[in-house]
Structure 1
Amino acid sequence: MKKLLFAFSVSSLVMGTASAQSSVTLYGIVTGNVTYSNNSQTAATSASGKPKGGAQVAQLDSGSSGLASSRWGLKGIEDLGGGVKAVFQLENGFSVNNGALGQGGAEFGRQAWVGVNANRYGTFTLGRQGDAAVEFVSPLLYGWYWGNLAIHPADYDNLNFTHRINNTIKYLSDSYSGLRFGAVYSLGGVAGNVTQNQFWSGGASYTGGAFAIAASIINARNPNASLYGTNPNASATGNNIGSAGSATGAESNPAIAGFASANTQQTVSVAATYTAGGAIFGAAYSNTQFRGLGANSSLNTQHYTGSAVLSTISASLRYQLTPFLRFGTSFDYTDGRATTGKEGAKYEQFNLGAAYSLSKATDLYVTGAFQHASGTDSLGRPAVAAIGYLTPSATSKQVAVSAGIKHLF
Structure 2
Amino acid sequence: MFKKLAPAALLVPCLAAHAQSNVTLYGIVDIGINYLNNAQTGRTASGFKGGHQWAVMDGGTGGLQGSRWGLKGTEDLGGGYKAIFLLENGFNANNGTLGQGGAEFGRQSWVGVASDYGKVTAGRQYDEVVDFYAPLLAAPQWGGYMAEHPGDLDNASNTRRINNSIKYTSPTMGGFTFAGLYSFGGVAGSFGTNSIWSVGAGYANGPLSIGAGYLNARNPNTSFYGSNPNGGPATTNNLGSAGSATSPQSNPVYAGFASAKSLQIAAIAAAYAIGPATFGVAYSNTRYQDLGSSSGPNPFGYTGTAYFHNAEVNAKWQLTPALLFGAAFDYTKGRGAAGHDGAKYELASLGADYFLSKRTDVYTVAVYEHASGTDSLNQPAVAMITGMTPSTTSNQVAVRVGIRHKF
TM normalised by structure 2 equals 0.94
Mapped partners of 1:358, 1:210: distance in 2: 27
Mapped partners of 2:51, 2:405: distance in 1: 32
Cα distance change, pair 253–15 in 1 and its aligned pair in 2 (3 A): closer
Mapped partners of 1:10, 1:370: distance in 2: 53
Of 219, 225, 228 in structure 2, the residue corresponding to residue 228 of structure 1 is: 225
For residues 162-213 of structure 1, the C-alpha deviation after alignment (integer angstroms, 9 at most, x for no partner) is 1111000001000000000000100001122111100000000011211011
- Identity score, percent: 51
Cα distance change, pair 237–65 in 1 and its aligned pair in 2 (3 A): closer
SS in 2 for 1:321: strand
- Decide which moves more: 268-277 or 252-261: 252-261
Q: Which residue of 2 aligns with 1:20?
A: 19
Q: Which residue of 1 aligns with 2:77?
A: 80
- Decide which moves more: 226-235 or 68-77: 226-235
**1:192-203 matches, cutoff 5 A:** 192-203=189-200
Of 299, 302, 306 in structure 2, the residue corresponding to residue 301 of structure 1 is: 299
SS in 2 for 1:154: helix
1:405 corresponds to 2:380: no
Cα distance change, pair 342–25 in 1 and its aligned pair in 2 (3 A): same
Mapped partners of 1:175, 1:369: distance in 2: 36
Q: Which residue of 2 aligns with 1:55?
A: 51
Q: Is the 8 A contact 1:146 1:353 kept in 2?
A: yes
Q: Is the 8 A contact 2:220 2:295 kept in 1?
A: no
Q: Which residue of 1 aligns with 2:363?
A: 365
Segments of 5+ residues of structure 2 without an aligned counterpart are: none
SS in 2 for 1:299: coil
Shift of 1:8: 1.2
Cα distance change, pair 236–349 in 1 and its aligned pair in 2 (3 A): closer
Q: Is the 8 A contact 1:7 1:22 kept in 2?
A: no
Of 234, 252, 255 in structure 2, the residue corresponding to residue 254 of structure 1 is: 252
Shift of 1:24: 0.8
Shift of 1:250: 11
Segments of 5+ residues of structure 1 without an aligned counterpart are: none
Mapped partners of 1:168, 1:97: distance in 2: 31
Of 120, 125, 128 in structure 1, the residue corresponding to residue 121 of structure 2 is: 125
For residues 329-387 of structure 1, the C-alpha deviation after alignment (integer angstroms, 9 at most, x for no partner) is 00000000132132210000001110111000000000011000000000100000000
Of 351, 354, 366 in structure 2, the residue corresponding to residue 353 of structure 1 is: 351
Q: Is the 8 A contact 2:222 2:295 kept in 1?
A: no
**1:9-408 matches, cutoff 5 A:** 10=9, 17-43=16-42, 45-48=43-46, 50=47, 52-63=48-59, 64-119=61-116, 121-141=117-137, 142-235=139-232, 238=235, 243-245=239-241, 252-296=250-294, 299-408=297-406
Shift of 1:225: 1.0
- Decide which moves more: 102-111 or 135-144: 135-144
Q: Is the 8 A contact 2:217 2:264 kept in 1?
A: yes
SS in 1 for 2:151: helix
Q: Is the 8 A contact 1:250 1:392 kept in 2?
A: no
Q: Is the 8 A contact 2:225 2:233 kept in 1?
A: no
How many aligned residue pairs are there?
403
Mapped partners of 2:261, 2:64: distance in 1: 34
Cα distance change, pair 236–354 in 1 and its aligned pair in 2 (3 A): closer
For residues 289-340 of structure 1, the C-alpha deviation after alignment (integer angstroms, 9 at most, x for no partner) is 1001010276001100000011100000011011111010000000001321
SS in 2 for 1:192: coil
Q: Is the 8 A contact 1:39 1:393 kept in 2?
A: yes
Mapped partners of 1:316, 1:258: distance in 2: 30
SS in 1 for 2:104: coil
Mapped partners of 1:299, 1:212: distance in 2: 41
What amino acid is the match of 1:254?
A: P
Mapped partners of 1:35, 1:58: distance in 2: 6
- Decide which moves more: 13-22 or 68-77: 13-22
Mapped partners of 1:250, 1:3: distance in 2: 30
Shift of 1:9: 5.2
Mapped partners of 2:245, 2:203: distance in 1: 46
Mapped partners of 2:306, 2:241: distance in 1: 21
Q: Is the 8 A contact 2:384 2:390 kept in 1?
A: yes
Mapped partners of 2:169, 2:227: distance in 1: 22
Shift of 1:18: 2.8
Shift of 1:54: 2.6
Q: Is the 8 A contact 1:178 1:206 kept in 2?
A: yes
Instruction: Let me know the Cα RMSD of the aligned residues.
Output: 2.2
For residues 219-240 of structure 1, the C-alpha deviation after alignment (integer angstroms, 9 at most, x for no partner) is 0001111111011113367379
